[in-house]
Chain A
Amino acid sequence: KTPEDKVELAREDVKKTPVIELSYSIFFPPSHAQCKAGESWAREIEKRTEGAVKINVYPGGTLTAADACFDGVFRGISDIGMSCFAYTRGKFPVMEAVDLPLGYASGKVATRVANEFYAQTKPQELEDVQVLYIHAHGPGLLHTQKPVENLDQLSGMKIRSTGLSAKVVQALGGVPVAMPQGNTYEALQKGVVEGTFAPIETLKGWKQAEVIKHTTDCHMIGYTTAMFVVMSKAKWEGLPKDIQQIFAQVSSEWIDVHGDIWDEADEEGRAFTTELGNSIVTLSEEEGRNWEAAVKSVIDEYIETAKERGVDGEKNVALLKELIARYGQE
C-alpha cells in the first residue's frame, strides 16, 4: 500500500463507521492469488454494503490453520473461513467426491462443477455453516524429472503426493511420498522424490519448474481440490436481509473470479515451465484410456467408503461426470 492508499482508507474509515465487523481466515499465504481473490471479495462486500460491513482478513493461517478452519468458523474463532475440504478427510463424505480424478479440464470448470454439485446435493455435512461459495483448482498433473509417456515409465517412481492424489499416484503404479508443498522443491532437487502430482500452477508458485524437466498432461484423469468459503450460521442469520443478499450476489459473481484466477495461474505456470525449456507431453488418446482405467479403483474405493457412511457415492460420481461434461462444453 502506498501512503496515499492509507490516507484514503483512513478517510473512508472516518466517513462510515462500520456496524458489522467480520473476521475472515484464509489458509493461503497473503502473496497467493487466491488469497488476493478472497480479499477482493471482502473489499467488494465492503463497497456494496457502503461500509456497513467491515471484513478483516487473516491470511496464511494466522488465525486458524488450514485443518482447523472449518471448525473455527463453526465455533466462532473466525466468522468466515476459506480452506480445503480435503484437510479434514472423512468429515465431508459427499463433497469429497469433487476431488476425485474425474478429468477436470480447467479450474473454471472444476469451480463451476463444485458449486453446482453443492447446490444440487446440499449435503448434511455443510448444514452447520452458511456456504458462500466453493472454488477448485485446475487439473492435477504429473511433473517429473524423467519423461513419462505411459504407465510403464511411471512404475515405481517416487512422486510427491498427499491424501487423495497419493491414492491416484498409487493406482497409476507410482510410489507416493507425502510432504508439505513447501519442502517439495528441495526434495525434487535432491532426488528425495522424482516427481510431483499437482496443478501446473505450482511449477511457478513454488518454483518447482526449476527442478523438474517434464510435465505429463494427463487432464483426462485430472483431479482437483475443492475449497470452501463458509460463514458462521449465527453471524449469517444476524445479518440484515439486504446485506445477506449482497453477500449472496457478490459470492455468486466471485465463483468465476476464482475459477479464472486458477486458470490464469495454470497458464502462467505452463508459460514459466516452457520458458525454462521443460517439455509438456500430452498423453495419446489410447494411453489416456489406460490411465482412466487405472484410476477407476480410486473412484470405486470412494463409492465403497461412502456407502459405509450412508452416502450414495455412485449417484454423486454420476452427477459430477454429467456436470463436468456440461460445463466442459461451455
Chain B
Amino acid sequence: MSPTLVGIIGIIALFTLIFFRMPVGFLMALIGFVGFGYIVNFDAALNLLAKDFVSVFGSYSLTVIPLFVFMGQLAFHSGISSRLFDAAYKFIGHRPGGLAIATIGACAGFSAICGSTNATAATMAAATLPEMKRYNYKPELATGVVAAGGSLGILIPPSVIFIVYGIMTGQSIGKLFLAGVFPGILLTVLFIMSIVIWTRLRPDLGPPGPRATLKEKIASLSGLVEMIIIFVLVMGGLFGGMFTPTEAGAIGAFTTLVVAIAKKHLTWDGFVGALFETTRISCMILIIVAGATVFGHFLAISRIPYDIANWISSFQLPPAVIMGFIIAVYFVGGCFIDSLALIMLTIPIFYPVVLEFGYDPIWFGVIIVLITQIGVITPPVGVNVYVVSGVARDVPLTVIFKGVIPMLIALIITTFLLIPFPQIALFLPGLMR
C-alpha cells in the first residue's frame, strides 16, 4: 500500500469510528499511531506517540488554555456572570424578549473574560435559565439563546480556538483576538435582532417583565465593576503590551481570584469547583490537541496534505470556488465533530491551500471560527446544545435545536457578510501594524 492510500484509509477510519463513542483525542492518537507505524515502523511510531504527548502537554503556549479556563471558572463560581445578567435585565427586561436580549448581552460581556464556547454556554445557562424560567419564558427561546450565545465566547477575545489556530499557523494571537472583536459585535447585534423579530412574531415566547426604576438600574451597575476591572486589566495589558497571552491568562485568573476573595464572593467550595472544572476542561482540550498532533504527523508522513494541495490547485478552479468548498467542509464537519478537533484536523490540510490563493490568514481564522460555531449548535453533534441540555435537564434536545434556528440565521448572515467585507475582521488588526 502506498503511504497516500494508508493516509486516505486513516482519514476514512477516523470519520467513521468517531461515531462509535471513542473519545475524539484517543481516536486520533490511535489512528495516527497505527498509521504511522504501518508506513514507517512500530518503534518510530512509539517514539512519535510519546514525543507528541509530552511536547503538547509541556507546551508553554498551550498553558494559556488552563489559565483562561480557570479565569472563566472563577468568574462563574464567584457570581460575576450572574451579576452581569442582573444588570442587563434591569435595563431591558421590561421589553418583550428583554431577558433573552439581556442574556445575549451578558454572553457578550462574559465572552470578554472567557475564552471557550462551551464554558460560556455552560456558565450563562446556569446563570440565566432559572431566571428566564421564573419570568415565564418559553424553553425554546431561553435555551436556544444560551446555546448560541456561547459562540460569542469564542469570537470575542480571548478565545481558545484563536489561540490554537494561532499556534498551529504561526499567526499572531494578538491580531487574531483583535480580528474577532467587530465580527463579535456584529453577531451580538444580529442575535438581538433575531430575538426582537422572533418575539414580535410570537409574543408568548418572552413576555415582558416589570420595569426597573432608574435607581435600581444604577444600583445594578455596581455588580459590573469587577468584570470591568478584570477586562480592562487583562485585555488592556494584552494589547497595551504588558504581557503575552499566557501571562494575560495568569494575571486574569489571579485578579479574578483576588477580587472575588476581597468582595467575599468566593467560597472554598466554589474555589475547588473552579479548579476541578479547570483541570477537567484543560485535560479534555489538550488530549484532543495531542491526539490531533499525532494524527497530523501521520497525515504528514502519508503526504496527503501535499497531495490534496496539489490536487486542488491542479484543477485551476477560481479561488472563490475552492474557498466555497473549504467552507462547505467546515460546515458539514462542524455538524459532526467538535469545532476544536475539526480545526486541528483540517488546518494542516487547508491552511497551505488558503495561503496559496492569497487569502488573509487572519480573516480565514475568523471565518472558520464562525463556521464551526454554526457547527456547535446544529444537529446531530451540537456540543453547546448538549452543554445547555446538561443544565436544563427538563428541556428535550429537539426543543433546544428548534430554539437555535433563529440564532443560526444570525450566524450565517455574519459569515456571509465577512466574505465580501473582510475589513470587518481585518480593520482592527490592521491598526496593529
Contacts and interface: CB of A to CB of B under 8 A. Distances in A.
A and B, direct touch (CB closer than 8 Å) = yes
Interface of A: 6, 23, 29, 56, 58, 62-65, 67-68, 71-72, 75-77, 179-180, 182-183, 186-187, 189-192, 210
Interface string B210-226: 00000000000000000
Contacts of A23: 301
A102 B44 CA distance: 38
Given A71-B47, A77-B44, 17 more contacts: A63-B297, A64-B297, A72-B48, A75-B46, A75-B47, A76-B40, A76-B44, A77-B40, A77-B48, A180-B60, A180-B61, A183-B244, A186-B172, A186-B241, A189-B433, A190-B242, A192-B241
B47 A62 contact: no
Contact of B47 (A29, A56, A72): A72
A81 to B, nearest CB: 12
Interface in B30-56: 40-41, 43-44, 46-48, 51, 55
B358 interface: no
A192 B44 contact: no
Given A58-B300, A62-B300, A63-B297, A187 B244 contact: yes
A268 B348 CA distance: 31
Given A64-B51, A72-B51, A76-B44, A192 B244 contact: yes
A72 B297 CA distance: 12
Contacts of B47: 71-72, 75-77
B55 A192 contact: no
B240 interface: yes
Contacts of B61: 180
Nearest to A207: B433
A187 B172 CA distance: 12
B109 interface: no
A72 B242 CA distance: 37
A186 B46 CA distance: 38
A117 B348 CA distance: 39
B183 interface: no
A68 B51 CA distance: 7
B241 A75 contact: no
Given A183-B244, A186-B172, A63 B43 contact: no
Interface in B239-253: 240-244
A229 B297 CA distance: 21
Interface of B: 40-41, 43-44, 46-48, 51, 55, 60-61, 170, 172, 174, 240-244, 296-297, 300-301, 303, 310, 314, 348, 433
Given A23-B301, A29-B170, A62 B241 contact: no
Given A63-B297, A72-B47, A75-B47, A190 B303 contact: no
A192 B243 contact: yes
A76 B60 CA distance: 27
Q: Which 8 pairs of residues, A with B, have the shortest CB-CB distance?
A: A190-B241, A76-B44, A75-B47, A68-B51, A62-B300, A77-B44, A77-B48, A75-B44
Contacts of A67: 55
B55 A68 contact: yes
B51 A71 contact: yes
B378 to A, nearest CB: 32
Contacts of B55: 65, 67-68
B303 A56 contact: yes
B41 A76 contact: yes
Contacts of A190: 240-242
Contacts of B241: 186-187, 189-192
A76 B300 contact: no
Nearest to A191: B241
A59 to B, nearest CB: 10
A75 B43 contact: yes
B62 to A, nearest CB: 13
Contacts of A56: 303
Nearest to B60: A180
Contacts of B244: 179, 183, 187, 192
A65 B53 CA distance: 12
15 contacts: A56-B303, A58-B300, A63-B297, A63-B300, A64-B297, A67-B55, A75-B44, A75-B47, A77-B44, A77-B51, A180-B60, A180-B61, A183-B244, A186-B172, A186-B174
A183 B240 CA distance: 14
Contacts of B41: 76
A64 B41 CA distance: 15
Chain B CB within 10 A, most for which of A67, A182, A189: A182
Chain B CB within 10 A, most for which of A6, A77, A183, A189: A77
Chain A CB within 10 A, most for which of B170, B300, B303: B300
Contacts of B433: 189, 210
A192 B242 contact: yes
Contacts of B48: 72, 77
A55 to B, nearest CB: 13
Contact of A62 (B43, B46, B243, B348): B348
A96 B174 CA distance: 35
A205 to B, nearest CB: 13
A217 B104 CA distance: 56
A52 B407 CA distance: 59
A2 B174 CA distance: 35
A64 B242 CA distance: 33
A64 B48 CA distance: 8
A71 B50 CA distance: 12
B11 to A, nearest CB: 17
A2 to B, nearest CB: 11
A285 B297 CA distance: 51
A11 B211 CA distance: 78
A159 to B, nearest CB: 16
Contacts of A65: 51, 55
A220 B174 CA distance: 37
Nearest to B47: A75
Contacts of A191: 241
